[in-house]
Amino acid sequence: MRITLIAIVFFGALFTAGCKSSGSDTAIATDMCGCFNMLKDSLPAEAISVFQKASVAGNPQETYEKEMRNLKPEIALKVAQALMSTTKKGSPVNDCLKKMDEKYKTNTNDQQEMGKRMITALKDKKDCEIMLALMRMNVKK
């Protein structure tokens, strides 16, 4: 369930991030980061720590899953609910991603390549752990 949820969130965001007609990869990544950072208010520090660890791990998917298993069930549920909320129409993150789509107005057919570009653009950016972890979990090496 969590893997499917993450994939849905990631590919929705990546589709939006594929928009590149009027912005650099850094600008797009920064805007996406801002969208996903809206989740921070609904997550406790332990949950943010999961994303921080996954964002820098050698194997982000395994790290995410391991760290999620270590959370108290009620906190893991909050993480799942927060991620699920990003796919709901009218949610702040979903609305933010739609605005990005309108702002950049193009599409990419190669989501893996776009994901790699976003990861590169975020490599040295602070406070983007949620988005970076989601990107890294879904980009194939």
State the pLDDT at residue 24: 83
Model confidence pTM above 0.85: no
Tell me the average pLDDT across 41-52: 92
Cβ neighbors of 87 (< 8 A, separation 6 or more) are 8, 9, 12, 94
Beta strands in 1-141 (DSSP E): none
**Residue 13: band (very low, low, confident or very high) from pLDDT cuts 50, 70, 90:** low
pLDDT of residue 107: 58
In sequence order, what are the residues at sequence separation of 6 or more whose Cβ sits closer than 8 angstroms to the Cβ of residue 3?
Answer: 61, 65
Burial class (CB in 10 A: 0-12, 13-18, 19+), 35: buried
Residue 89 has pLDDT above 80, yes or no: yes
Which pLDDT does position 2 carry in this prediction?
52
In the structure, what pLDDT confidence band is assigned to residue 23 with cuts at 50, 70 and 90?
Answer: low
- Over range 99-104, report the average pLDDT: 83
